[in-house]
Structure 1
Amino acid sequence: MSERRKGRVLAAMSGGVDSSVTAALLKEQGYEVIGAMMRFWPDNKPEDCFNTCCSPDAAYEARRVADQIGIPFYLLDYREVFEVEIIQPFLEGYRRGETPIPCVWCNTRVKFDALLKKARMLGCDYVATGHYVRRVEGPQGIEFHRGGDPRKDQTYFLWGTPREAMPHILFPVGHMQKPEVRRLAERFGLITAKKPESQNICFVPGSVRAFLEEHLGGQPGPVIDLETGEVIGEHAGAQFYTVGQRKGLGLWKTHLERYVVEVRPQTNEVIVGPREACQWRGLEAREINLLLDPETLPEVVTAQVRYRQRPARARVRELGAGRFVLEFDEPQFAVTRGQSVVLYDGDRLLGGGVIHRPLGNALGLEVPAVQALG
């Protein structure tokens, strides 16, 4: 079978081992492969970011991998798109007291929207990435399932994928374990075979806290106890905190074990309480996206409200008009505005949405109104 008959693929290359093996495997399998990296970083990107995902150093390594496996390579300028679609919404989310997930929107709005459009311009049939996600031929069409390596599964970040894009996306390493991917990289002789993984947000140099301080500033304000309404500490700026956080709260009464229950950027207040106060029986999600016909969505699903959180049984209520209400069988910890709630049926990814608000505090507590401090 000739390369062109097999299909032309635009392989998204980040300079890491997963995307390198993705490109090499596709070439070995008989696809016509074009390598591409999306440039997100500005000209003034700090030097300590240059060894992260999609950095200038990573671009150099991706280009060398493309040379090794004998495919063309392009560096595509997506700085403006990334600023508008990812960085600014990230900052605005924190400004509103939310905890957004930029990787979700990068996949949704950039990789499987803007990059897919570029692929079509180049005459490509597919876009391929190094995500640990399994692409399955289901009875109604293409489905996304959890990756073969449970520790690396990345379906949580792909719930926003446009449904019409799914047939045009390939995940060549999605069924593999990470050690298997590294062994393949060594077999192909790739320079990225032993490259360590990048865990940071690609556009954040150092800590998220420092990034937010630089772009949003910060004003000290009261830390308020949920149960008593008393001011028990001082925070550095409400937008720096997230629901479920326990450390760095600036409490004066240090014998209390308190967690962030609510962030109020409008009044610059952080509300804290016992761990049980961060348990919620349900949530309302908006900006939803389903990867199947709505009428076929199971009433009972499993749902994750955090990437590393254990999936929990839940029931979908009030589906429609760009929203749904989810009711958990057991209360869930740290249901946080701006985070994603992702729905599954077994290993199959069904879709998800952005958490708009938690519902039904497990303790039945209401956050008390607090008088402005003099």
Structure 2
Amino acid sequence: MRILVAMSGGVDSSVVAGLLKSQGHDVIGVTMKLWEGPNGEMPETGCCTAADSEDARKVAAKLDIPYYVLDYTKSFSENVIDNFVDMYSQGLTPNPCVECNRSVKFDHFIDQAKKLNCEKVATGHYAKIVSNDDTFELHKADYLEKDQSYVLHMLTGDILSKIDFPLGTISKPEVRQIAASLGLKTAFKKDSQDICFVGKKDYRNFVSSRIDFSSGGNIVDKNNNVIGTHEGVHQFTVGQRKGIPGGQGQAKYVTKIDVENNKVFIGSKADLTTKKFIIEDVSFVNGEEYENLSIQTRYNSHDIPCKLKKIDDSIFEIELHELTLGVAPGQFGVIYNDTKLIGGGRISSKILENINE
């Protein structure tokens, strides 16, 4: 089988290419160039640096497979960077990695696979695709410590039929051992954690450089008493503690961001708890399910048992079985039945309005 392997220059995608080649598949390596600065500078950290592309090229040469770098900077800028800036300007907390998968990577990889006459696209994500009566399901990886199914929740069964996740049953230590046995230079390369277009810089400066936040506003408590001032709502996210005034004696957190009135609300940790919220732009892998559900409200957060109630075609209410912290508008709520991923959507700002009990 001819398979397009998405190569980031990291150990995971390197091993995917090596494993598939060793299994006798016709492998083609592809790296996406996703971002460059206004003066053509490449990202210094993240998943798409010049060094990463060079590492991917060296792995492809070691494995003796064709390798291409494809430029998708325009698509990435329009769908991911503009969304990132717009979300912060609305007082929301974006997840650019989910947005990249949802709006850029998989669509372009599948399209490119067709052009190269490839039957599948393989990536180094830790997740499992399970075929069940001609239906393709998305499941958590066996190695839960690295499970990445959360950031893949937008993939439908039809799309999953065109994808392969070879690392779904393999642990990270095993992946590194395989890379070493294949003589790949990425075997002990550290995993990337930074946002590629922000790097180690403050995201606030990145957002400020792309949109005008000339007007500041007030920081208030839940009774609208003024506690302090701010220079722009983009400097805050719900749940934030650092840099919040009025925390003498008891820690204060951002509990709500009112963009229209330029107010940032703060309160105690207890004020952050919620049991009901709305998710919007909801998609399902293979259709709606309503029994034995749980939800993750952030990447790598624990599963919380929940009930799902349909409000509109792509809008659903989530009712948790227990009060929880850390539900931030703009992040994604991803729904599971045990290890099977059912679907997910973006957490609405309505979370902190009248819906709460």
The answer to whether structure 1 residue 34 and structure 2 residue 28 are counterparts is: yes
Would the alpha carbon gap of residues 179 and 71 (structure 1) be closer, same or farther in structure 2, given more than 3 Å must change? same
- Tell me if the contact between 2:334 and 2:343 (Cα under 8 Å) persists in the aligned partners: yes
- Name the aligned partner's letter for residue 255 of structure 2: V
How far residue 109 of structure 1 moved from its aligned partner, in angstroms, is: 1.9
1:112 matched to 2:106? The reply is yes
Answer whether contact 2:295 2:305 (CA < 8 A) is retained. yes
Deviation at 1:162, TM superposition (A): 3.5
| Corresponding residue pairs, total | 353
Within the candidate set 111, 117, 142, 1:123 is matched to 117
Correspondence for 2:140 among 114, 125, 146: 146
Q: CA deviation at 1:197?
A: 1.0
Letter in 2 for 1:269: K
Structure 2 residue aligned with 1:298: 290
Given the alignment, which residue of 164, 189, 207 partners 1:195? 189
Q: Distance in 1 between matches of 2:232 and 2:31?
A: 36
CA distance in 2, matches of 1:34, 1:26: 10
1:260–1:271 CA contact under 8 A, matched in 2: yes
TM-score, reference length from structure 2: 0.94
Residue of structure 1 in register with 2:203 after alignment: 208
Most deviating of 154-163 and 319-328: 319-328
Q: Distance in 2 between matches of 1:277 and 1:58?
A: 43
| Alpha-carbon distance in structure 1 between the residues aligned to 2:9 and 2:171 | 19
Q: CA deviation at 1:51?
A: 4.3
Pairing 1:342–2:337 present: no
Residues 84-103 of structure 1: pairs in structure 2 closer than 5 A = 84-103=78-97
Counterpart CA distance in 2 for 1:82 and 1:90 is: 11
User: 1:197 is paired with a residue of what secondary structure?
Assistant: coil
Does the aligned pair in 1 maintain the 2:136–2:158 contact within 8 Å? Answer: no
Equivalent position of 2:9 in the other structure: 15
> CA–CA distance in 1 between the matches of 2:23 and 2:92?
44
Report percent identity of matched pairs: 37
SS of the residue 1:215 aligns to: coil
Query: 1:158 maps to which residue?
Result: 152
Give the secondary structure class of the aligned counterpart of 2:131. strand
Aligned to 1:268, which of 251, 262, 269?
Answer: 262
Deviation at 1:352, TM superposition (A): 0.4
- 2:168 corresponds in structure 1 to 174
Once the two structures are superposed, residues 263-321 of structure 1 have per-residue CA deviations (whole angstroms, 9 ceiling, x without a partner) of: 12222211011111111111111111101122xx1333010111132110000112541
Q: Which runs of 5+ in 2 are unaligned?
A: none
Structure 1 moving runs of 4+ over 4 Å: 359-364
Which residue of the other structure, out of 198, 220, 236, is the alignment partner of 1:224? 220
Q: How far apart in 1 are the matches of 2:237 and 2:101?
A: 23
Q: Is the 8 A contact 1:233 1:253 kept in 2?
A: no
How many angstroms apart in 2 are the aligned matches of 1:320 and 1:363?
Answer: 19
Q: Which runs of 5+ in 1 are unaligned?
A: 1-6, 365-374
| Greater alpha carbon shift after TM alignment, 331-340 vs 252-261 | 252-261
Task: Look up the SS of the partner of 1:181 in the other structure.
Answer: helix
- Range with greater deviation from structure 2 (201-210 or 52-61): 201-210
Offset of residue 54 of structure 1: 1.4
* Deviation at residue 102 of structure 1 after TM alignment: 1.1
1:35 is matched by which residue type in structure 2? G
Q: Match of 2:121, SS? A: strand
Alpha-carbon distance in 2 for matches of 1:45, 1:258: 41
Aligned-pair CA distance for 1:252: 4.5
Aligned CA distance change for structure 1 residues 252 and 327 (closer, same or farther; 3 Å): closer
Q: Structure 2 matches for 1:348-367, cutoff 5 A?
A: 348-356=340-348, 357-358=350-351
1:70 paired with 2:64, answer yes
Tell me by how many angstroms 1:146 deviates.
0.8
- Over aligned residues, Cα RMSD in angstroms? 1.9
Q: 2:233 aligns with which of 218, 235, 238?
A: 238
CA contact (8 A) 2:246 2:252 kept: no
Matched, 1:137 2:131: yes
Distance 2:117 2:44 in 1: 32
Change (3 A) 1:139 1:360: farther
Supply the distance in 2 between the matched residues of 1:8 and 1:123 (Cα, whole angstroms): 7
1:174 partner SS: helix
Residue pair 1:112, 1:162 contacting (<8 A) in 2 also: no
2:272 aligned with 1:278, yes or no?
Answer: yes
In structure 2, distance between residues paired with 1:347 and 1:225:
40
Distance in 2, Cα, partners of 1:8 & 1:152: 27
| Separation in 1, partners of 2:28, 2:177 | 23
Q: Distance in 2 between matches of 1:358 and 1:91?
A: 21
Mapped to 2, the partners of 1:300 and 1:326 lie a distance apart of 13
